[in-house]
Chain A
């Protein structure tokens, strides 16, 4: 495609016998090259920014056998979330009652409000703790960190939950700034309750 323009030397102005050197232009048609260049740019732009894998840190505690070493939490400020199948979350606040009357269900959309409300409730019950506030001050953290220090979320994925559910719920902890949360193996009693609840609701949900 590159065409080389020939200089106009058709005229014989200098008369016969005088040979004139042929003048060639050095201009090359660059359009196809530029086309190709832009094609490659587009290609690399797309491939370069497509998927940027990131990582989510996960710290697991050591398995503690001794009951004395286990962390104790206030019953009133605990929210237990159980991940069931089909992206359903089962939850209860505090302790699970014998009759299972505080065992409720929600979805991944509803869980955020649930966490926010529970967190507000815990903060509203906060009695000023000068020791914790002094410590937060010395470490340069806001005092408000103390207000929700009691708030604990316990995550219990059931064997039917997917990995995505697990990551989503961990993400929800970050989004709502839950400082204390734990991932625990689900109790048999709770798994039974999930199964009972699943049986009660239409299966095609």
Chain B
């Protein structure tokens, strides 16, 4: 119907003497320049250069969470996992270093921390996650005094955690506490302990890695991780399932039953869609996640706002990953271009691929394909799976994935 109206309009315009019909320019504002937001900004410009795109990002640089565990192992540097926003500027995206503090969906405008308002036709919100620090007693104070780190957003905490591992004496204990799923990057914690164990094995072999997992078992690529730990890090990594950390104190974490001593405390608190989603009414489920229409990524709560990435209420079998956020962005970009040109969006089939390093030069992988089933995105049965075994080939493809997706999202 809309499409027919648009064609009618187009016909009328050409009768009136216009040789070409250019759709009216519209402005899309994108909140957040991570895997989701950067990709959305780029692909809207790529698929319809007549649309103005403004990306609002509070940091000067993109720092990738994927591959940041290699920094903890000492196998790559922060500069290797950081990228600038000039590539998007060259695509005609206006990149503002600022922060969106409020969304007025009725007026279709956002408020910036710098004070001004920005109007939009369509808004993309790709804010990532914020932590529920209050769910772990003593966390905020311990974090401020440097006694606990999450390093679950790549950046200063990644560097700080690496320094703590370096300064820890041989024979020390590193504790990683994993929150109950869903959390950002399901295999990320297991990759992290592999990287820390690889470093200990090399540099301080009497040290231990203690994994306290609130989940009953390894949540992603379980057999592959456990095989690597058995083969490579026996006697270094100890894994305990169903152990939920409820409090932190200097030099120890507490569960409901025990106090467990550690020299480096890496407690990842539970998280939810980031604050801007919470205060804009975008959170729909369990006070944590944002439900969306998977044909368009449009919020089920707020019209005209498309939510991407880790902030979404994940569809079945869909991890909170960089690959997924990049693919969410392409669904949103395709839908927004269709809508702003008076056409009806079509569902888009998407792919997830997540690599995890288990040693400096060996990796494992999980993949899936997701398609619209009439009401949501579902994994395609019979497609996807995990690596046959850890390998150097997977590690080569992992670095290819990283460099290529950074370019796909940011240049």
A and B form one complex? no
Where the two chains meet, the residues of A that have a C-beta atom closer than 8 Å to any C-beta of B are none
Where the two chains meet, the residues of B that have a C-beta atom closer than 8 Å to any C-beta of A are none
